[in-house]
């Protein structure tokens, strides 16, 4: 298995892409999809593999620059990264690459160079930076035939072969072939648009080696950073002194709190980066007069932590009240049973009884002060959020 290095996608694919398989990133126009191929090849290099990048829409040097923008230093992999230059000849510029397609508008010429690459190099991750550009230059039917041939050769020579394809309005026949027939796996990359694009997602349309999964993930593209799963906002609520601020800080790579007279009357705000997930965390004030604020924020949230002090059962009335406010939005939530380090702390099971909560409500034991249990709680919540999309 070769991992793509794209958070969650390898899980979806049952661990990655097996040798000999082909995969297409099927990209809706206007969405930042070409980074998927780049991140895939960079991950191969990072894992000591060989990578081949076929560039058709920018020069290899421009592409090298793009890798750097993502914070991916490819210079250290010069001996294992090969560019196939199908761009410079197009604009009449010289190429210093080992593999050059001298006539990028001639599929036979393409075929010859790609065949050489497939036969000469050790098992590699071969990534086409833009299959759609090749199609534009060489024709739909001609390109499809060539791709079928490359996919077959990849099986024989144990490569994995990956294509970025932007689904411009080609013929329906072409689009259907790409989506349903030609590749072992199809990852669709699309946008959530309402006049403007406000979210991007990826999900598996097809995969002949992994179990069917209908899950998709929101993502955004960071420079540096590459593809990061995107969870817009997560709320941390709970009674006074339960440990909300402490929890936000324990989880965050950077956090700020606005405190007055020793307790938080404004918001805690943090940002967490964990296992490819990127999320903004907001702690709410506990006082009842701030309930409207909680309503406002939870309306835009995707998940909620309810922090309780496990040693203080009297808190639970207020805690449950807060849960009602937020639950009315139908959001996934996780109860954080904090201060487990203190004597007399109730177990998650005992709290479940006190709260009279259904058995499927997750309660995660934690000690935010010692950063214990906070990331476990985060993972539980993320799984609830992403399972629901
Ligand atoms: N023993 C213990 N104390 C904690 C823990 N988490 C927070 N505290 C303490 O509880 C108090 C209230 O924490 P804070 O985060 O300000 O609570 P908030 O009012 O919910 O924001 C502070 O004195 C914290 O140091 C924990 O896990 N264990
Ligand atoms: Mg606080």
Is position 3 within any domain?
no
Q: Are residues 205 and 253 in the same domain?
A: no
CA distance 63 to 127: 13
Q: Are residues 195 and 136 in the same domain?
A: yes
Q: Are residues 285 and 203 in the same domain?
A: no
Tokens of 159: 């490569």
Cβ(185)–Cβ(199) below 8 Å: no
Q: Are residues 65 and 214 in the same domain?
A: yes
Atom of ligand 1 nearest to the CA of 370: 27
Q: Are residues 32 and 133 in the same domain?
A: yes
Indicate if the alpha-carbon torsion angle 152, 155, 161, 166 is positive or negative: positive
Is the CB of residue 338 below 6 angstroms from any atom belonging to ligand 1? yes
Q: Are residues 48 and 100 in the same domain?
A: yes
Which residues form the domain of 145?
Answer: 9-224
Compute the distance from residue 308 Cα to the ligand 2 centre, in Å.
12
Q: How many domains does the chain have?
A: 2
Q: For residue 360, which phi and psi values (nearest 5 degrees)?
A: -90, 0
- Looking up residue 250, the CATH number of its domain turns out to be 3.40.50.300
Is the CB of residue 246 below 6 angstroms from any atom belonging to ligand 1? yes
The protein residue with its alpha carbon nearest to ligand 1, atom 24, reads 243
Output the tens digit of pLDDT for each of the chain's 389 residues.
999 999 989 999 999 999 999 999 999 998 989 999 999 999 999 999 999 999 999 999 999 999 999 999 999 999 999 999 999 999 999 999 999 999 999 999 999 999 999 999 999 999 999 999 999 999 999 999 999 999 999 999 999 999 999 999 999 999 999 999 999 999 999 876 544 555 688 888 899 998 866 667 788 899 998 998 876 688 888 888 999 999 999 999 776 665 554 554 457 889 887 776 678 898 877 666 656 666 665 556 778 899 999 999 887 777 777 777 766 666 778 999 999 999 999 999 998 888 787 777 789 999 999 999 999 999 898 777 765 43
Atom of ligand 1 nearest to the CA of 268: 21
Domain final residue, candidates 205, 224, 243: 224
Angle at 207 between CA 204 and CA 211, to 5 degrees: 90
CA distance 372 to 105: 59
Tokens of 6: 């794209």
Is position 75 within any domain?
yes
pTM assigned to the model: 0.67
Domain final residue, candidates 160, 190, 224: 224
Q: Are residues 87 and 213 in the same domain?
A: yes
Is the CB of residue 32 below 6 angstroms from any atom belonging to ligand 1? no
Is position 178 within any domain?
yes
Q: Are residues 166 and 313 in the same domain?
A: no
Q: Are residues 121 and 191 in the same domain?
A: yes
Q: Are residues 239 and 149 in the same domain?
A: no
CA distance 43 to 6: 8
Compute the distance from residue 368 Cα to the ligand 1 centre, in Å.
7
Q: Are residues 111 and 187 in the same domain?
A: yes
The protein residue with its alpha carbon nearest to ligand 1, atom 14, reads 243
């Amino acid at each position: 298995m070769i991992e793509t290095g794209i958070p969650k996608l390898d899980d979806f694919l049952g661990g990655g892409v097996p040798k000999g398989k082909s995969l297409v990133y099927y990209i809706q126009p206007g969405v930042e999809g070409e980074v998927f191929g780049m991140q895939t090849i960079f991950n191969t290099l990072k894992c000591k593999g060989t990578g081949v990048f076929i560039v058709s829409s920018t020069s290899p040097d421009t592409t090298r620059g793009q890798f750097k923008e993502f914070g991916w230093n490819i210079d250290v992999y010069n001996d294992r990264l090969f560019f196939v230059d199908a761009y410079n000849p197009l604009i009449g510029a010289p190429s210093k690459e080992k593999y050059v397609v001298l006539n990028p508008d001639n599929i036979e010429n393409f075929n010859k160079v790609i065949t050489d690459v497939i036969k000469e190099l050790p098992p590699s991750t071969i990534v086409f930076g833009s299959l759609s550009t090749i199609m534009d230059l060489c024709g739909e039917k001609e390109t499809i035939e060539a791709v079928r041939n490359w996919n077959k050769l990849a099986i024989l020579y144990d490569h994995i072969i990956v294509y970025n394809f932007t689904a411009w309005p080609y013929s329906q026949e072409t689009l259907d072939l790409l989506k349903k027939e030609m590749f072992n796996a199809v990852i669709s990359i699309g946008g959530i648009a309402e006049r403007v694009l406000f979210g991007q997602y990826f999900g598996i349309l097809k995969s002949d080696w992994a179990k069917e999964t209908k899950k998709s993930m929101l993502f955004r593209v960071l420079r540096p950073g590459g593809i990061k799963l995107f969870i817009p906002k997560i709320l941390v609520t709970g009674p006074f002194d339960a440990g909300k601020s402490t929890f936000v800080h324990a989880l965050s790579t950077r956090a700020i709190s606005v405190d007055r007279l020793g307790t938080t009357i404004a918001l805690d705000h943090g940002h967490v980066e964990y296992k490819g997930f990127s999320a903004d965390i907001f702690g709410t004030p506990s006082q009842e007069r701030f309930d409207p604020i909680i309503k406002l924020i939870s309306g835009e949230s995707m998940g909620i932590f309810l922090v309780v002090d496990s040693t203080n059962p009297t808190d639970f009335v207020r805690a449950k009240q807060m849960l009602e406010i937020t639950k009315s939005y139908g959001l996934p939530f996780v109860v954080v049973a904090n201060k487990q380090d203190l004597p007399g702390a109730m177990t998650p099971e005992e709290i479940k009884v006190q709260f009279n909560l259904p058995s499927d409500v997750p309660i995660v034991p934690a000690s935010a002060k010692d950063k214990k249990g906070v990331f476990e709680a985060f993972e539980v919540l993320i799984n609830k959020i992403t399972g629901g999309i």
